[in-house]
Amino acid sequence: MSMFVKFLVAAVGSGTPLLFGTLGEIVNEKAGHLNLGVEGMMSLGACAGFMVGYVSDNFLLALLAAFAAGALGGLLYAVLTVTFMADQNVTGLTLTIFGIGLSNFIGIYMLGRSETGSLKLPETITRQMRNIHIPKLSDLPVVGELLFSYNPFVYLGIALAILLAFYFKRTKTGLNVRAIGENPGAAAAAGIPVTKWKYLHLLLGGGICGIGGAYCVMIINGGVWISNSVGGLGWIAVALVIFATWSPAKALFGSLVFGALRVLKYYNFFKLDIPIAIYDMLPFLVTALVLVLTSIRQSREKAQPASCGVNYFREER
Amino acid sequence: MQKNIGLEDSQIVRKNNIDDSDPTATETAIRECIEEGCNVIFATSWGYMETVAALAEEFPDIYFAHGTGYMSNGKNFTNYFGRIYQARYLSGIAAGLKTQSNKIGYVAAQNKDNSEVTGGLDAFAMGIYSVNPDAKVYVRVTNSWYDPEGESAAAKALIAEGCDVIGQHCNTPNPQLAAEEANVWGVGYNSDMIKDAPKAVLCSVLWDWGAYYTAYVQSIIDGSYDGSNYYGGLAEGLVDISDLADFNDPEAAAKIEEAKKSIIDGSFNVFDGVIETNDGSTVGEEGGTLDDATITGGINWYFKNIVEESAQ
């Protein structure tokens, strides 16, 4: 039992960076942009968050920097695809390569300047970024461990998912953005400022990815800088968007499932003697299944926004 | 190496972070080195092997040395690697003395099929057994040479199972950081991970490639180069463990020193005699020791104190 609780806790920990990447990508895709630069924006956020945290020893400042760096990546992408109509797939891929490259470059430069040959976040920020402990609540058996003992990112991610779900379902702006994602021509005809909302949501999505990057350096890598710090999680987040059928609320559930599938191989409950590569494949197998199932059901609500991946050119209307 | 031989900065060209699964990038990097006038080239990762083999045929006048692989041509293309298992045995002594729960975790990049990882793990387990026969070693395999998240998750699972010393054969310091966060101990690998997790790391298992580079380049300068492969260990200074952290068991330093001496003078070779594996079979024979070919390519069994499955 206690091992199962630990497994669930590990699943939440493993799912959280995916949650941020997924939410960021959902915001992008809702506005009609398939952004394959999630990994790059996460890397930029990882680097900025780490470096600012390293210098300032201030958790909040580090988070803001991570958000800003991710948003900056989103801005690059927005300028290229919204204003200059560059191909979305190619731009996104380029952003990934650029983001990883730049963050590694800065990281290696900073490593070269450090006396110990290692970069580690200072004491205060390390304490703040680690698991919280609420007296009494965190000490409750099982419940305390399952609900009240995570790092701050987990609660931030959950709040963000709920906020975004509300935003896209219930607010006027959120619905307008979805209209842009489905049919920007019709949205523009209805008087919705297409370009402005696209820019804002590409920035917002990038920023959210950036926070996911900060999670990678602070929690997964324990506050020590390593190259390729995001390690491919951004790509899994792109798959998770499909699994979550473009719904921020389902992303919450989806990231927990993906997180669980990703750590399952380290908690051998079923004593199965199967090749470990099968475990590595599970999240993607499930994604493929979801794709097949949703396309059979033909539900418009659960599909990718119709104009996602296609640039909007006003004159062609 | 640079200091020992007296080379200037301009005589060394470095190409960092070349993806070792990308032969084109590897080839480009090596060709750039050659164009810049390099006549000795060290390729330091497994994945470079075949690219280097092909280029060694094309450039017979240039010396190629490839690390951690198995190919060579006996002329200008040699392979170098080392007896890291000797250092791992020593680190096992520190781990075996330190553990209180008698459960020691190990995050392995590859499963039993990989002799490099498995041999290292076995040596670690044998080092533990030599000082603490009651301790068991629990293994988690990430199935990747570089997986920051998986390495961290594997270590956390081991800690959840009760392990209080975490060893590793993988690339990031994440298992050590997980150990530090959970207030348990660990044994680092590749770089001295005491700098990353000073409260957790008992010692780190280290390579000193400089020792080999110096010997290699010196042999070319002297004309004593003979195209033979290199397989060094503690005696050559190629592998070692870092200084012990001061929170090690008080007996650790002496016991490690004793084992180290016997390895260096050749009276002990780690894989000596009849070795019991964890499935009840045995390996090796009385009075013998495993040969190098078996150590580099044929260790696909776990020592008897290694537990593969979860204890639950």
The pLDDT of B196-203, averaged and rounded, is 96
Interface confidence, given as ipTM, is 0.90
Chain-chain contact of B152 with A221 (C-beta, under 8 angstroms): yes
Domain extent, residue A83, equals 2-316
User: Cβ–Cβ of A10/B153 closer than 8 Å?
Assistant: yes
Write out the DSSP string of chain A. Answer: -HHHHHHHHHHHHHHHHHHHHHHHHHHHHHTT---TTHHHHHHHHHHHHHHHHHHH--HHHHHHHHHHHHHHHHHHHHIIIIIS---HHHHHHHHHHHHHHHHHHHHHHHHHH-SSS--B--HHHHHHHS----TTTTTSTTHHHHHS-S-HHHHHHHHHHHHHHHHHHH-HHHHHHHHHHH-HHHHHHTT--HHHHHHHHHHHHHHHHHHHHHHIIIIITTTB--SSTTTTHHHHHHHHHHHTTT-HHHHHHHHHHHHHHHHGGGS-SS-----HHHHHHHHHHHHHHHHHHHHHHT-STTS--TTTTS---GGG-
Predicted local confidence at residue B310, as pLDDT: 56
Record the pTM.
0.90
Task: Give the CA distances from residue A9 to residues A172, A230, A271, B155, B276, in Å, rounded to whole numbers and listed in that order.
Answer: 36, 20, 20, 14, 37
Instruction: Confirm or reject contact between B154 and chain A (CB < 8 A).
Output: yes
User: Looking at the complex, does the CB of residue B306 fall below 8 Å from at least one CB of chain A?
Assistant: no
Which residues face A70 on adjacent strands?
none
Q: B2-82 — its CATH code?
A: 3.40.50.2300
- Report yes or no: B157 at the A interface, CB cutoff 8 Å: yes
The answer for B 189-218 residues in CB contact with A (under 8 A) is 191, 195-197
| Distance (Å) from the alpha carbon of A299 to chain B's nearest alpha carbon | 35
Q: Kindly state whether B147 is in contact with chain A, defined as any CB-CB distance less than 8 angstroms.
A: yes
Report CB contact under 8 Å: A226, B148.
Answer: yes
- Write the class of the CATH domain B84-207+238-307: alpha beta
> Residue A222: what pLDDT?
93
pLDDT at A1: 67
In this model, does residue A316 exceed pLDDT 80?
Answer: no
For residue A13, list chain B residues with Cβ-Cβ distance below 8 A: 153, 156
pLDDT for B311 beyond 60: no
Query: Given an 8 Å threshold on Cβ–Cβ distance, is B153 in contact with A17?
Result: no
User: Quick check: A226 and B177 CB within 8 A?
Assistant: no
In whole numbers, what is the pLDDT of chain A averaged over residues? 93
CB pairs under 8 A between A and B: 95
- Do A3 and B180 make contact, defined as CB atoms within 8 angstroms? no
B108 interaction partners in chain A (CB closer than 8 Å): none
Position A317 confidence tier, pLDDT thresholds 50, 70, 90: low
Distance from CA of A271 to the nearest CA of B (A): 7
Among A223, A228, A263, whose Cβ lies nearest the Cβ of B153? A263
Any idea which of A234-238, B88-92, B274-278, B308-312 has the lowest mean pLDDT? B308-312
Given a cut of 80, whether residue B249 has pLDDT beyond it is yes
Number of domains in chain A: 1
State the virtual CA torsion across A54, A60, A63, A64 in degrees, nearest 10.
-110
Of B141, B172, B180, the CB nearest to A276: B141
Question: Which chain A residue is nearest to residue B198, measuring alpha carbons?
Answer: A120
Residue-wise pLDDT for B270-303, tens only, equals 999 999 999 999 999 999 999 988 998 889 999 9
Domain(s) labelled CATH 3.40.50.2300 in chain B stretch across 2-82, 84-207+238-307
Q: How far apart are CA A3 and CA A14, in angstroms?
A: 16
- Cα distances from A37 to residues A97, A195, B94, B243, in angstroms, run 8, 20, 45, 43
Interface test with B, best of A16, A100, A102, A266 (most B CBs within 10 A): A266
A14, B153: Cβ pair inside 8 Å? yes
CB atoms within 10 A of CB A222: 28
Report yes or no: B111 at the A interface, CB cutoff 8 Å. Answer: yes
How much is the mean pLDDT over chain B?
93
Do the Cβ atoms of B127 and B85 come closer than 8 Å?
Answer: no
- Please tell me if residue A117 touches chain B, with a CB cutoff of 8 Å: yes
Give the gap in angstroms from C-alpha B153 to the nearest C-alpha of chain A.
7
* Helix, coil or strand: residue B257: helix
**pLDDT tens for residues A200-245?**
999 999 999 999 999 999 999 999 999 999 999 999 999 999 999 9
Average pLDDT over residues A8-26: 97
CATH number of the domain encompassing residue A106: 1.10.3470
Contact A117 B177 (CB under 8 A): no
- A7: chain B residues, CB-CB within 8 Å: 157, 160
H/E stretch holding B65: strand B63-67
**pLDDT (tens digit, 9 = 90+) per residue, A89-148?**
999 999 999 999 999 999 999 999 988 889 999 999 999 999 988 888 888 888 888 999
> Which of B160, B173, B312 is the closest to A224 by Cβ?
B173
